């Protein structure tokens, strides 16, 4: 019996079994629909306050050579930032509690669902949620006149890619953390600086020259710039570079997350 | 035995995680100030729109007040509900010579200490950045504590009536976040539509922000008394309701 469990949990990922975990999350989430619906509003409030409120005092901003209105600049940045928040919630907060407190995964690995299935299932779940939010926010942008190109249609797969890459990154954090105090540390030392300093609120060109490459190395910078290129129509070969960064991160971070989760669940 | 014992108890629990927590609580406002005040602010065409001060000054003083609101509201949500029904610390306290009144005033006293701990370093950072124009700025620390407590007390009264924590999602998303963004912290409320200005005038954060700005970057005007009165009245109402509700909850 023990041997069977050991082989089951080490199985490589199967789409069918990973989707079982997605279904489990959906069932568990039914009770928290308020939290789900209210998640739409956070980026919207920021858009109103900063994009339109503060934006009235801001001249056009330059973005890859074009001059665009501040709200047009900010909105795709907030879209990317809300994808990050969703990824942290679904890829780190919830898995953190399942792993360390509720021991949900300890139960799951005794079934035919393997450890890679768990990691992939959580990332798929986070991606689905992120895509729903992102699509909603793109619709809000459209209704507010902040979308200036049909390229924005590709914004939906771009949000999917960003959500996948960021939540795979968030799963790495899950693999590293055990203490409840880590949540606050991760928020203050990783999530909050990314949110503020990834070219979301103001262009990278405003940073001192030495800091610009640092900003350009962050995943949120690539997600924000990719989405901004699509919604403004300023698409160039460099846009593919952002896609490649995020796709690479998804694969690499996913592989690391599976290894870390295995270390945590088999000991 | 009195309210001060509740303060001491919370202090002992807090002490263990203090150093890390203190560092983090200072770091977030500093990052926020640099990003918004300096980064975003460098894009803002200041003119006379912000009453003759820079956007950094305008924004930083707004954030000082609003971080007190957020901290105050938070302190009256999960931690209090936990002590009422999850960990049931209050039940244990009532088995000692402590009264319901001691518990409420103890929690507010502790709230005042955490608000001091939050606002003093923030205040020092702002002084170093040269944000304050006037020596009356020192009076902002008690004002900021008042803002936090005025926001905390009514929420405490509300928490005492709750059976689950579901309502907090609503409070944070639909009350705290909009207040934080739209009460004149990020931009002057004159930019809001007329109805929005009326709503803003009714919120405690607006009064807190105005009061802080009059003490730090603008001239003090007679309206300061009205803002102060509003916050004190809200605190009074919150405490009265809080005592009543907590009594009902714990003595039932």
- Does residue B100 contact residue B251 with C-beta atoms inside 8 Å? yes
A166 falls in which pLDDT band (50, 70, 90)? very high
Tell me which residue in B17, B44, B177 faces A57 most closely, judged by beta carbons.
B44
A21 pLDDT above the threshold of 90: no
- The per-residue pLDDT for range A90-125, each reduced to its tens digit, is 889 889 888 888 888 888 888 888 888 888 999 999
Interface of B with A in 176-235 (CB under 8 A): 177-178, 181-182, 186-187, 191-192
Dist CA A128 CA A64 (whole Å): 30
Question: Mean pLDDT throughout A190-198?
Answer: 92
- The per-residue pLDDT for range B60-113, each reduced to its tens digit, is 999 999 989 999 999 999 999 999 998 899 989 988 999 999 999 999 999 999
* Residues in CB range of A136: below 8 A, 6 or more apart: A40
A176 in contact with chain B, both atoms CB, cutoff 8 A = no
- Nearest Cα neighbor of B181 from A41, A10, A211, A26 is A41
- The per-residue pLDDT for range A124-143, each reduced to its tens digit, is 999 998 899 899 999 999 99
Element spanning B238, H or E: helix B223-251
Find the residue in B nearest to A39 (Cα): B173
B49 falls in which pLDDT band (50, 70, 90)? confident
Dist CA B118 CA B114 (whole Å): 6
Find the residue in A nearest to B32 (Cα): A196
**Residue, of A163 and B10, whose pLDDT is higher:** A163
Q: Where are the domains of chain A?
A: 2-265
CA angle, B61 then A88 then A254, to 5°: 145
Element spanning B63, H or E: helix B55-75
Beta bridge partners of B67: none
To test the contact with chain A by mutation, choose from B24, B42, B43, B48 the residue with the greatest count of A C-beta atoms within 10 A, namely B43
Whether complex ipTM tops 0.90: no
Tally Cβ neighbours within 10 Å of residue A177: 19
- Does residue A193 contact residue A211 with C-beta atoms inside 8 Å? no
- Shortest CA gap B140–chain A (Å): 25
B36 pLDDT above the threshold of 70: yes
Dist CA A142 CA A156 (whole Å): 13
A171 falls in which pLDDT band (50, 70, 90)? very high
- Shortest CA gap B3–chain A (Å): 28
B27 in contact with chain A, both atoms CB, cutoff 8 A = yes
- Counted across chains A and B, CB pairs separated by less than 8 A come out at 93
pLDDT of B16 reads: 63
Q: What percent of chain B has pLDDT over 90?
A: 55
Tell me which residue in A58, A70, A197 faces B35 most closely, judged by beta carbons.
A197
For the record, the structure tokens of A56 come out as 């009235």
Inter-chain touch B31–A196, beta carbons under 8 Å: yes
- Nearest Cα neighbor of B84 from B251, B227, B250 is B250
Q: What percent of chain A has pLDDT over 70?
A: 95
- Does residue B41 contact residue B56 with C-beta atoms inside 8 Å? yes
Q: Where are the domains of chain B?
A: 3-41+49-251
């Amino acid at each position: 019996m023990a041997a069977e469990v050991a082989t089951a949990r080490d199985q490589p990922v199967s789409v069918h079994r990973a989707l079982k975990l997605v279904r489990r999350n959906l069932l568990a989430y039914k009770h928290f629909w308020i939290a789900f619906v209210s998640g739409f509003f956070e980026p919207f409030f920021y858009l109103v306050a900063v994009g339109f409120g503060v934006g009235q005092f801001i001249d056009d901003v330059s973005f890859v050579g074009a001059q665009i209105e501040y709200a047009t600049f900010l909105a795709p940045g907030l879209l990317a930032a809300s994808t990050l928040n969703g990824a942290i919630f679904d890829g780190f907060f919830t898995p953190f509690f399942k792993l360390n407190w509720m021991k949900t995964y300890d139960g799951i690995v005794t079934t035919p669902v393997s450890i890679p299935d768990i990691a992939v299932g959580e990332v798929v779940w986070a991606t689905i949620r992120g895509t729903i939010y992102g699509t909603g926010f793109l619709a809000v942008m459209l209704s507010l006149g902040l979308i200036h190109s049909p390229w924005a249609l590709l914004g939906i797969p771009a949000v999917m890619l960003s959500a996948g890459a960021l939540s795979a990154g968030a799963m790495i954090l899950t693999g590293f953390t055990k203490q409840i105090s880590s949540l606050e540390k991760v928020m203050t030392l990783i999530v909050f600086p990314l949110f503020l300093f990834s070219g979301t609120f103001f262009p990278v060109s405003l940073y001192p020259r030495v800091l610009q490459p640092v900003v350009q190395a962050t995943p949120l910078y690539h997600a924000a710039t990719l989405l901004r290129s699509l919604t403004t129509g300023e698409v160039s070969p460099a846009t593919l570079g952002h896609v490649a960064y995020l796709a690479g991160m998804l694969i690499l971070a996913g592989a690391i997350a599976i290894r870390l989760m295995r270390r945590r669940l088999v000991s | 035995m009195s309210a001060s014992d509740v303060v001491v108890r919370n202090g002992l629990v807090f002490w263990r995680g203090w150093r890390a927590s203190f560092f983090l609580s200072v770091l977030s406002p500093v990052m926020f100030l640099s990003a918004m005040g300096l980064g975003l602010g460098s894009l803002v065409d200041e003119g006379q729109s912000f009453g003759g001060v820079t956007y950094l000054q305008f924004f930083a003083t707004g954030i000082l007040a609003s971080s007190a609101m957020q901290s105050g509201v938070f302190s009256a949500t999960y931690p209090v509900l936990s002590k009422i029904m999850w960990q049931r610390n209050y039940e244990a306290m009532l088995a000692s010579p402590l009264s319901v009144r001691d518990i409420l005033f103890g929690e507010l006293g502790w709230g005042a200490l955490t608000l001091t701990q939050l606002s003093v370093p923030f205040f020092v950072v702002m002084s170093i950045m040269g944000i304050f124009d006037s020596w009356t700025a020192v009076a902002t620390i008690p004002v900021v504590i008042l803002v936090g407590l005025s926001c905390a007390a009514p929420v405490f009264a509300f928490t005492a009536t709750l059976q689950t924590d579901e309502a907090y999602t609503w409070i944070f998303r639909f009350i705290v976040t909009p207040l934080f963004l739209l009460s004149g912290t990020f931009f002057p409320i004159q930019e809001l539509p007329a109805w929005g200005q009326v709503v803003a005038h009714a919120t405690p954060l607006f009064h807190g922000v105005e009061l802080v700005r009059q003490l730090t970057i603008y001239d003090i005007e007679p309206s300061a008394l009205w803002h102060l009165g509003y916050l004190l009245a809200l605190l009074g109402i919150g405490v009265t309701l809080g005592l009543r509700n907590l009594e009902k909850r714990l003595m039932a």
